[in-house]
Amino acid sequence: MDHFQLKDGELYAESVPLARIAEEVGTPVYVYSRATLERHARVFREALEGLGRVHLAFAVKANPNLAVLRVLARAGYGADIVFSGVGKTPAELAQGLDAGLGQFNLEHEEEGHVLSALAEARGQRVSATLRVNPDVDAGTHEKISTGKADNKFGVPIDQAPAMYARLAALPGLRMRGVACHIGSQLSNVAPLEAAYVRIGRLIADLRATGHAVDRADLGGGLGVRYRPEDVVPWPTDLGEMVARVTKDWHVELMFEPGRVIAGNAGVLLTRVVWVKPGVTHPYVIVDAAMNDLARPALYGAYHHFEAVRPSGEHMTAHIAGPVCETGDTFAMSRAIDRVRSGDLAIFRTAGAYGATMASTYNSRALVPEVMVDGDRYAVVADRISAETIMNAERVPEWLAD
Ligand code: LLP
């Protein structure tokens, strides 16, 4: 459930008409709903109640806006406490140590050696897990699958016991357990279950060889509804499956949800520039583009399009942005609300992997972000103009004349 709903024939974010935000802040603009973020955070947390010790770490990459993080931190999510990533540089590892991060998820053995040496030099012993690649097919888009044997993430599960033993012997590391994340936008929990069953066997093997294992990081990945007809797993489906699979693990379970918390808590508000006749269908040209919302161009992703003041009439159209690339197309031959030049519209489910993946391609401004809270709203990220970006560029003296 989200708080972007029609009231008296026009779309609101909570109690604020989207048209007001468009008027006052301009378009394109991302709009987040605080109540929706809080609701998703609560529903996810409640679905995992009863699992014993649980640590929730919001996947900051999904939406790193500071106001969003503040909402989630208040809801009990420990953003940024777990450091994952296949390319953490030694300098970043050192920074993480200096910042006192709670846990490092190691992606391979050499990284563990470097982290141990850095920690030892600081007189620290740092908590770490080994990220395992369980070799399961997440059944999602290939570009967001991470748990197949040949993906770049984690270590092959059959090599994990020996590697874990070597890492556990290092003086700067306190190996706490294992981590896995097999992909994003999963449409059911079966692939997660297959992965967790393997993780369970690994934990038992590690314990049998004398290792203490007290944490298992189960990653993120739950899919959300992009199309009205999408059938997606509920957090309670995850909770029930995890309770069943992990009942004998006796560890602290960690989760890194991203999309399920933020996805439907944000929309991209845009204005129709023109409705241009086309050969098969008209082109609805909007003022948002692939640089503002990259997912359709990158993954062929679907984002539901709705008029802010729907007339009740419909049309079939292509929807595209103004950038000079055919990839700057949000939809082809889509049945949508009838819109005219100057109308406002939204792309839904844009709260995760939306603004954070924006760029300034085509010398476009960096898209701003707004958060709504009841009947008030605030700009939580400014529009950064092309001029400001150009001001950070330099023409060297030897090119000046
Ligand atoms: N944990 C790790 C280690 C991850 O790599 C990710 C996401 C998550 C947790 C959060 O996954 P979620 O709950 O959001 O599925 N840009 C793509 C999605 C990339 C996901 C990257 N990893 C998209 O727009 O679909």
Look at residues 280, 303, 281, 278 and name the one whose alpha carbon lies nearest to residue 290: 303
**Sign of the dihedral through C-alpha 81, 86, 87, 89:** positive
Supply the DSSP symbol for 243: H
pLDDT of residue 389: 93
pLDDT of residue 138: 83
Angle between helices 34-47 and 66-74 (to 10 degrees): 40
Instruction: Give the global pTM.
Output: 0.96
Question: Is 351's C-beta closer than 6 angstroms to any atom of ligand 1?
Answer: no
pLDDT of residue 246: 98
pLDDT of residue 123: 97
Superfamily of segment(s) 4-33+263-391: Lyase, Ornithine Decarboxylase; Chain A, domain 1 (2.40.37.10)
Q: What's the gap in Å between 67 CA and the centre of ligand 1?
A: 20
Q: What's the gap in Å between 184 CA and the centre of ligand 1?
A: 5
Superfamily of segment(s) 85-255: Alanine racemase (3.20.20.10)
Residues of the chain with pLDDT under 70: 79-80
- Rounded-to-integer distance, Cα 167 and Cα 161, Å: 10
Question: Is 185's C-beta closer than 6 angstroms to any atom of ligand 1?
Answer: yes
Supply the DSSP symbol for 365: P
Question: Is 295's C-beta closer than 6 angstroms to any atom of ligand 1?
Answer: yes
Q: What's the gap in Å between 272 CA and the centre of ligand 1?
A: 31
Domain with CATH 3.20.20.10 in the chain: 85-255
Could you report the per-residue pLDDT of 57-74, keeping only the tens digit for each? Answer: 999 999 999 999 999 999
The atom of ligand 1 lying closest to the CA of 85 is 3
Domain with CATH 2.40.37.10 in the chain: 4-33+263-391
pLDDT of residue 227: 97
Ligand 1 atom 19: the closest Cα is on which residue? 144
Q: Where are the beta strands (DSSP E) in 338-392?
A: 344-347, 369-373, 376-381
pLDDT of residue 80: 47
Are 384 and 305 a contacting pair, CB within 8 Å? Answer: no
Question: Is 235's C-beta closer than 6 angstroms to any atom of ligand 1?
Answer: no
Are 356 and 266 a contacting pair, CB within 8 Å? Answer: no
The atom of ligand 1 lying closest to the CA of 295 is 24
| CB proximity list for 84: less than 8 A, separation 6 or greater | 105, 107, 131, 179, 181, 256
The atom of ligand 1 lying closest to the CA of 62 is 14
Q: What's the gap in Å between 221 CA and the centre of ligand 1?
A: 6
Instruction: Give residue 207's Cα distance to chain centre.
Output: 33
Ligand 1 atom 8: the closest Cα is on which residue? 220
Are 10 and 20 a contacting pair, CB within 8 Å? Answer: no
Pocket probe mutation, ligand 1, options 48, 146, 184, max atoms within 8 Å of Cβ: 184
pLDDT of residue 148: 81
Question: Is 131's C-beta closer than 6 angstroms to any atom of ligand 1?
Answer: no
